[in-house]
Amino acid sequence: MDDGELRQLIALMTAYQAGSIQAFDELYAALAPALLAYLISLTRARSHAQDLLQETFLQLHKSRRAYRAGLPVRPWIFAIARHVWLMDRRRRSRRPQAEHELPDLPVPPDVAVLGDRERLRLAMTAVLPDRREALLLHHLWGFTFAEIGQLLGIRADAAKLRSSRGMADLRRLLTEDNRG
Amino acid sequence: MADERLHVPPALRARIAADLRPVAPLRSPFTRTLVIVPIALALLVAAAVVFGLRRDASRIGIGLTWGASVAQMLLGLTLVVAALRESVPGTTLARRTVGVFLGTTLVAVLALTIATWTHSPTRVAAGWTTYVWSICLTGTIVSALPALAVAGWLSARAFPLRPRVAGALYGVGAGLMADAGWRLFCHFSDPVHVLGSHTAGIALVAILGLVFAGLIGRR
């Protein structure tokens, strides 16, 4: 994400705090695709991720006062999305669940050339969830490791380690698959 | 993969529009902590003003009385700043950072206890142990409650995603601020008394903060 987009999101968030529904519409348009992909990577179920996306924007609305102008918007709303997922997972763990569908997980562009869509999807699914999350946040959505650390409650170097191990796992899985 | 989601679903938009009004954004954690500074200063001087300064104050010196208490108060305020930062989504603290804050507090309290005992070893007289213990424990907890309540309110307004972590941090902070004043009045430096009543009081305020934060959640 470049500086222009960063500043635009900050301006939209500030306008939304001032009561602009148009700013909310634009924020939704700018953030919903990446948030949905993130929630799919966490839930591994597209339809469920879509429900959580709506809940994330409702929580964003409830907490809009807590946003401080000047702070990057995406780490803030991704943290809320992650919290919505964690709360939902806690609720769902109390009752039996149906088998998850194998979702269409997003794939970082720098590994997309290593295999076809189906193999990439299977390989992404096989990467450990915490590594996959850090990998996607950094390589697909461009978060810095410091931002990932603040989002996940870990240190920046731990976030970097998770991401690089996730990438190594992904490359290994795809390479093994190519040989096999 | 999510192009069809570019437009806000009508039901969601209607809910947002029905509740949309201008809101004042929160200030930085540091600025919001300034609200607690008057309480911290009042706690620092209250016990010494009302009940008098500890009897061994001249022996242990200004550094270990007022100096150490001011440092303890500042550490308490720092923990509140950390708790308010933790309360803002996207700026949560790493687990290790939380551990460093709590570990630093423990080391500081232990070091101060040992230094005070080394300079002026004073014990509670036999037969008075339970009475003095209950006074110092209750005094620390009760005097921490205003700072705890205000810090809890400030944290809840910021939408904490891990309210119990924030609660434990501002709980320890409030306990430290309360004890910073209480230790200026308490005449006894015996580590058993200090750790068993003053430090235990700080720990109990931290637990209160944790429970309180879990109950009030986000406002």
| CB burial string A38-70: b at 16+ within 10 A, e below | bbbbbbbbbebbbebbbbbbbbbeebbebbbee
What per-residue confidence (pLDDT) applies to B144?
Answer: 97
Contact A65 B1 (CB under 8 A): no
Q: From B154, which residue of chain A is nearest by alpha-carbon distance?
A: A66
What is the percent of chain B with per-residue pLDDT over 70, rounded to a whole number? 96
Distance CA B195, CA A71 (A): 41
Q: Rounded distance, CA B18 to CA B116, Å?
A: 60
Give CA–CA dist B158/B179, Å, rounded. Answer: 27
**A66 and A117 housed in the same domain:** no
pLDDT of residue B69: 96
Q: Do A93 and A48 lie in a common domain?
A: yes
| Structure-token pair, residue B120 | 């002026």
Q: Which two tokens stand for residue A102?
A: 């194998």
Question: Residues 80 to 119 of A: which have CB under 8 A from any B CB?
Answer: 80, 82-83, 104, 106
Asked whether residue A78 falls in the same domain as residue A139, the answer is no
Compute the nearest-CA separation of B161 from chain A (Å).
Answer: 7
Which chain A residues are closer than 8 Å to B13 by Cβ? 21, 24-25
Per-residue tokens: A54: 């709506």
Q: What is the pLDDT of residue B65?
A: 94
> Could you tell me the CA-to-CA distances from A93 to A86, A98, B158 in Å, in that order?
10, 11, 28
What is the pLDDT, as a whole number, of residue B126? 84
Query: Which chain B residues are closer than 8 Å to A53 by Cβ?
Result: 5
| Residues A116 and A162 occupy one common structural domain | yes
Q: Which of A110-124, A157-171, B198-212 shows the highest mean pLDDT?
A: B198-212
In this prediction, residue B3 carries a pLDDT of: 47
Mean pLDDT of all residues in B153-157: 92
Average pLDDT of the residues in B3-11: 70
pLDDT tens-place string over residues A32-90: 999 999 999 898 888 889 999 999 999 999 989 989 888 889 999 999 999 999 989 88
pLDDT of residue A93: 76
What would the two tokens of residue A146 be? 């410091």
Domain C-terminal end among A54, A72, A104: A104
Distance separating alpha carbons of residues B67 and B59, to the nearest angstrom? 14
pLDDT of B5 above 60: no
Residue finishing a domain among A104, A128, A150: A104
Determine the length of chain A: 180
pLDDT of amino acid A177: 63
The two three-digit tokens of residue A85, written as one number: 């997922």
Residues in chain A with CB shorter than 8 Å from the CB of B14 are none
Q: Determine the structural domain holding residue A129 and report its residue range.
A: 106-180
Please check whether residue A65 touches B, CB under 8 A. yes
- The rounded mean pLDDT for chain A is 85
Crossing angle of helices A21-43 and B10-18, in 10° steps, is 130
CB of A145 within 8 Å of a chain B CB? The answer is no
The answer to whether the CB atoms of B6 and A33 lie below 8 A apart is: yes
Length of chain B: 219
In the predicted structure, residue B2 carries a pLDDT above the cut 50: no
Q: What is the mean pLDDT of residues B69-75?
A: 97
Q: Is B55 on the interface with A (CB under 8 A)?
A: no
Residues 152-181 of B with CB under 8 A from A: 157-159, 161-162
Residue B203 burial by Cβ neighbours in a 10 Å radius (0-12, 13-18, 19+): middle
Residues A63 and A99 grouped into a single domain: yes
* Residue B159: pLDDT over 70: yes
Q: Which residue from B minimizes the CA distance to A87?
A: B161
Which residue do the tokens 């320890």 mark? B172
Q: Is the pLDDT of residue B1 over 50?
A: no
Same domain, A9 and A81: yes
Residue A134 and residue A165: Cα distance in Å, rounded?
10
Residue B200, pLDDT score:
96
Looking at the structure of chain A, the number of domains it has is 2
pLDDT tens for each residue of A5-37: 888 999 999 999 999 999 999 999 999 999 999
In this structure, the answer to whether residues A56 and A128 fall within a common structural domain is: no
The predicted pLDDT at position A33 comes to 92
So where are chain B's domains?
Answer: 26-216
**Chain B nearest CA to A175, separation (Å):** 25
pLDDT band of residue A104 (cuts 50, 70, 90) is low
Residue A17: which of B25, B89, B161 has the nearest Cβ?
B25
* pLDDT of res. A176: 76
Residues of A in contact with B89 (CB under 8 A): 63, 66, 76-77, 79-80, 83
Of A87, A104, A121, the one marking the end of a domain is: A104
Count contacts between A and B (CB, < 8 Å).
Answer: 126
Are A1 and A61 part of one and the same domain? yes
As given in the structure block, the two tokens for residue B72 are: 């303890």
Do residues A132 and A175 lie in contact, with contact meaning Cβ atoms separated by under 8 Å? Answer: no
Residues B185, A28: Cα–Cα separation, whole Å: 57
pLDDT of residue A151: 86
pLDDT value at B186 more than 70: yes
Same structural domain for residues A100 and A110? no
Contact A70, A6 (CB under 8 A): no
CATH number at residue A79: 1.10.1740.10
